[in-house]
Structure 1
Amino acid sequence: MKYTLRQLEVFLATARNENITRAADELAMSQSAASGALRDLENQFSVQLFDRMGKRLQLNELGRLVRPRVASLLDEAHELEHALARHAEVGHVKVGATLTIGNYMAVPIMARFMSENEGANVSLEVANTRTIGRKVADFELDVGLIEGEIHSPELEVIPWRGDRLMVFCAPGHPLAEREALTDEDLLAATWILREGGSGTRQTFDRAMHGLLPDLNVLLELQHTEAIKRAVGTGMGVGCLSEVALRDAFDRGDLIPLPVPHRDLARSFYFILHRQKYRSAGVDQWLKLCRETTGLNGTMEAADGE
Structure 2
Amino acid sequence: MALVQCRSFQAAAKNLGIAQPTLSQHIQKLEEQLDTLLIRRAKSGCEPTRTAHALMPFALSMLRLDERAREAVSGTSLRVGASSNIGIYMLQPHVRSFMDTPAAPEVDLVIDNNPAIARQLTSGELDIAVMEWWHPKPGFQARDWRQEPVVLIVPPHHPCAGLQQIDRETLAGMTLLGGEPGTGTGRLLANFFGDKGPFPKVSMQLGSTEAVKQAVKTGLGISLVLAACVSEEVRVDSLRAIPVSDPGLSKELMVICPDAIARHPPVSTFVGHLCH
| Cα shift at 1:176 | 2.2
The question of whether the paired residues in 2 share the 8 Å contact of 1:147 and 1:200 is answered with no
Paired with 2:35 and 2:126, the residues of 1 have a C-alpha distance of 25
Aligned to 1:136: 121
Deviation at 1:179, TM superposition (A): 4.7
1:247 and 2:237 equivalent? Answer: no
Match for residue 125 of structure 1 among 110, 116, 126:
110
- Using structure 2 for the length normalisation, give the TM-score: 0.71
1:37-48 matches, cutoff 5 A: none
Give unpaired runs (5+ residues) of structure 1: 1-13, 15-19, 59-66, 83-89, 292-305
Q: Distance in 1 between matches of 2:252 and 2:25?
A: 45
Local SS of the residue matching 2:100? helix
Q: Indicate if the aligned counterparts of 1:181 and 1:258 stay in contact, CA closer than 8 A.
A: yes
Counterpart of 1:226 in structure 2: which amino acid?
A
Change (3 A) 1:184 1:34: farther
Q: 1:99 aligns with which of 84, 89, 110?
A: 84
Superposed displacement of residue 100, structure 1: 2.0
Task: Using the TM superposition, give the Cα deviation of residue 227 of structure 1 relative to its aligned residue in structure 2, in angstroms.
Answer: 1.4
Instruction: Say whether 1:266 aligns with 2:256.
Output: no
2:174 to 170, 173, 189: 189
Deviation at 1:282, TM superposition (A): 1.7
In 2 relative to 1, CA 74–166 (structure 1 residues): closer, same or farther, beyond 3 Å?
same
Change (3 A) 1:170 1:121: same
**Residue 205 (structure 2) aligns with:** 220
Q: Is 1:36–2:26 an aligned residue pair?
A: yes
**Structure 2 residue aligned with 1:113:** 98
* Deviation at residue 253 of structure 1 after TM alignment: 2.3
Aligned length: 247
Rounded to whole Å, the distance in 2 between the matches of 1:275 and 1:158 is 15
Structure 2: state its 5+ residue gaps.
6-11, 37-49, 57-61
Match of 2:251, as an amino acid? R
CA distance in 2, matches of 1:226, 1:238: 11
Contact in 1 for aligned 2:68/2:125 (Cα 8 Å): no
Structure 1 Cα separation of the partners of residues 28 and 264 of structure 2: 27
- Corresponding residue for residue 174 of structure 1: 159
Structure number with greater Rg is 2
CA distance 1:125–1:138, shift in 2 (3 Å) = same
